[in-house]
A and B are shown apart, each in its own frame.
Chain A
Amino acid sequence: MALLTVEDLSVIYAQRSTAVRAVDRVSFTIEPGEIVALVGESGSGKTSVALALTKLLPMPPAAISGDVRLSGTSLLDATGDTLRSIRGGTISYVFQDPATSLNPVLTIGEQLVEAIELHTDARGREAKQEAIRWLQRVGIPSAEERLGAYPHEFSGGMQQRACIAMALASRPALLVADEPTTALDVTIQVQILRLLRDLQRTLSLSVLLISHDLTVVERIAHRVGVMAGGRLVELGAVEQVLHQPAHPHTKELLRYRSMMTLKREGKR
């Protein structure tokens, strides 16, 4: 059975005089241990899909409809405590804007230890050791010393990695990662992708990966969906969608991609 089933998901934002249909009847599934990517132009509705899954959008102005099921249980019908225990637990998030998901008045270590104690059996010293290990896994140098740092003392890419560590430390079944590598150079990006791949292989972690970086998608995802104007216009195996695109929007994305890749022919 699929871990996540999304059917006819729609999100509408009420604006003063109009309504913005940000997500328009989107359907897809994610199997246990499967990495599904969402790509598409800026404003096409990717973040709205991710946040709607567990009703993380402020309602109003947002109105969500459709059906979202986690191992058969409806998420859109769930309320209060049930939702809170799912968010950050079974489903954890790496938000597009790292700074907003970190608490500015708690140290990175305090926040990590809190996530670990809340969702695993580790306590005290053991939780702290676990926190250090997670920072090391996401490539933060001098991890033990950095536990005591506040978020504003981290660089953009370090904040992003702290968020990834925090999301993974709660041992989710599904990780929803919204542009998790935008602030990372390729060397660290590869390290993070390798970490996700390892967790997917050993613990059957499922991932919904939102990324505008098609190289990242190609490196790690099994299937990819292309969004345009709120609709999922194409969905299929990565090799197929990125090499034999069917939809004009996908072709357009790929055309720009080849313009931007490092041209090194004959140089090395």
Chain B
Amino acid sequence: MMAAPIIEARAVSKWYPRRAGVLRRQVGAIRAVDRMNVSLGAGQTLGLVGESGCGKTTLAKLLVRLLEASEGEVFVHGQPFASLRGPRLLAARRAIQFIFQDPLNSLNPRLTVEETLAEPLVIHRLARGEARRSRIRELLVAVQLPPSYRSRLPRELSGGERQRVGIARALATEPEALICDEPIASLDVSVGAQIIELLRTLAHRRRTALLFISHDLGAVASLCDRIAVMKDGRLVEFGPTEELLSRPAHSYTELLIRSASLDLEFVPP
């Protein structure tokens, strides 16, 4: 028998009220995510791409249960995520970690880097005393931040440094699945490439499952075995990376690939 995937979404949807005018009357619903299926098993790397506003962050938040689905369900090791309570909920939260698209808003402005990284270790009782301090040092090294940054507050960091603190925090619990929402968007190419390398190592050596959201098709292609393409809340194309890039079936996928080498005088169809 095959083991259940670490995380699986079955026909999940998220609707937001659509409002119009200054009075914000409700005039219908935005289907931010529309009956999506996603499954992530150990060691699998899935890239999620699609135009801005197509529903990638909403889907990611449904998977980690930062949002509740309007319809459909998310399962963790075959158990409905929404039904988990107490220690089993805590275990699921530890197993599935999220890297936020917006690093500044996801970090507590009053916590130093060290306190931010200690928090998951404390909540999940993973390390204390010297072990905790050395784990924090390891995490900083993994995301290429100097140890002296331990005492910095988020506002004392550059944009890319903040993003890396968010990545280190997600790695702290050694999750089974990592949902990464534009994790390298504000990193320069060299640090970005090294974070990709780190994620690749986790997937290969520790069998960490990865959902990797990025508008950088080059990065997605270099990390992920499979790619899912979203448009207007729906899955429009899905397949092994090589195949999808060489023979895109959907015109939007084709446009994405082509625009990676566009020049400015190009007029989109």
A220 to B263 alpha-carbon distance, docked (Å): 9
Partner of A262, one of B22, B160, B188, B217: B217
Interface size of A by CB at 8 A reads 59
Given A253-B190, A262-B257, A264-B245: A153 and B159 interface contact (C-beta under 8 Å): no
Per the 8 Å Cβ criterion, residues 70-123 of B in contact with A are 101-105
**Interface stretch among B7-15, B46-54, B129-137?**
B46-54
Are A186 and B161 closer than 8 Å at their CB atoms?
Answer: no
Does A76 interact with chain B (Cβ within 8 Å)? no
Does A125 interact with chain B (Cβ within 8 Å)? no
Are B215 and A42 closer than 8 Å at their CB atoms?
Answer: no
Given A185-B52, A260-B189: A42 and B101 interface contact (C-beta under 8 Å): no
Are B52 and A42 closer than 8 Å at their CB atoms?
Answer: no
Per the 8 Å Cβ criterion, residues 210-269 of B in contact with A are 215-219, 221-222, 242, 245-246, 255-257, 259-264, 266, 268
Given A148-B22, A153-B16, A190-B266: A262 and B159 interface contact (C-beta under 8 Å): no
Are A99 and B57 closer than 8 Å at their CB atoms?
Answer: no
Given A185-B49, A262-B260: A96 and B19 interface contact (C-beta under 8 Å): no
**Interface stretch among A86-94, A154-162, A239-247?**
A154-162
A157 to B105 alpha-carbon distance, docked (Å): 15
A195 to B151 alpha-carbon distance, docked (Å): 42
Does A66 interact with chain B (Cβ within 8 Å)? no
Does B138 interact with chain A (Cβ within 8 Å)? no
Partner of A161, one of B52, B222, B259, B260: B52
Give the residues in chain B near A259, CB-CB below 8 Å: 189, 193, 222
Are A262 and B221 closer than 8 Å at their CB atoms?
Answer: yes
Are A16 and B102 closer than 8 Å at their CB atoms?
Answer: no
**Interface stretch among A4-12, A114-122, A129-137, A176-184?**
A176-184
The 0/1 profile, CB within 8 Å of A marked 1, for residues 143-169 of chain B is 000000001000010111100100000
Q: Which residue of A lies closest to B185 (CB)?
A: A182
Give the residues in chain A near B215, CB-CB below 8 Å: 157, 183-186, 189
Are B52 and A256 closer than 8 Å at their CB atoms?
Answer: no
The 0/1 profile, CB within 8 Å of A marked 1, for residues 169-193 of chain B is 0000000000000100111111111
Given A148-B24, A190-B259: A185 and B51 interface contact (C-beta under 8 Å): yes
A232 to B188 alpha-carbon distance, docked (Å): 16
Min CB–CB distance A18 → chain B (angstroms): 8
The 0/1 profile, CB within 8 Å of A marked 1, for residues 13-36 of chain B is 000101111101001000000000
Q: Which residue of B lies closest to A100 (CB)?
A: B104
Min CB–CB distance B206 → chain A (angstroms): 23
Are A155 and B190 closer than 8 Å at their CB atoms?
Answer: no
Min CB–CB distance B263 → chain A (angstroms): 7
Min CB–CB distance A177 → chain B (angstroms): 13
Q: Which residue of B lies closest to A110 (CB)?
A: B22
> What would 14 more interface pairs be, CB under 8 Å, given A148-B20, A212-B188, A256-B193?
A41-B188, A97-B104, A145-B20, A148-B21, A153-B16, A183-B101, A187-B268, A190-B259, A194-B264, A256-B192, A260-B192, A260-B222, A262-B221, A268-B246
Interface residues in chain A, defined as those with a beta carbon under 8 Å from any beta carbon in chain B:
13, 15-16, 39-43, 47, 61, 96-100, 109, 139, 141, 145, 148-149, 153-158, 161, 178-179, 182-191, 193-194, 197, 212, 214, 219-220, 252-253, 256-257, 259-264, 267-268
Interface residues in chain B, defined as those with a beta carbon under 8 Å from any beta carbon in chain A:
16, 18-22, 24, 27, 49-53, 57, 101-105, 151, 156, 158-161, 164, 182, 185-193, 196, 215-219, 221-222, 242, 245-246, 255-257, 259-264, 266, 268
- A to B CB contacts below 8 Å, 26 in the list: A15-B156, A16-B151, A41-B188, A41-B191, A42-B160, A42-B161, A42-B188, A96-B159, A96-B186, A109-B22, A141-B53, A155-B57, A161-B52, A182-B182, A183-B182, A184-B52, A185-B256, A187-B51, A188-B52, A212-B188, A214-B189, A253-B188, A256-B190, A261-B218, A262-B218, A262-B245
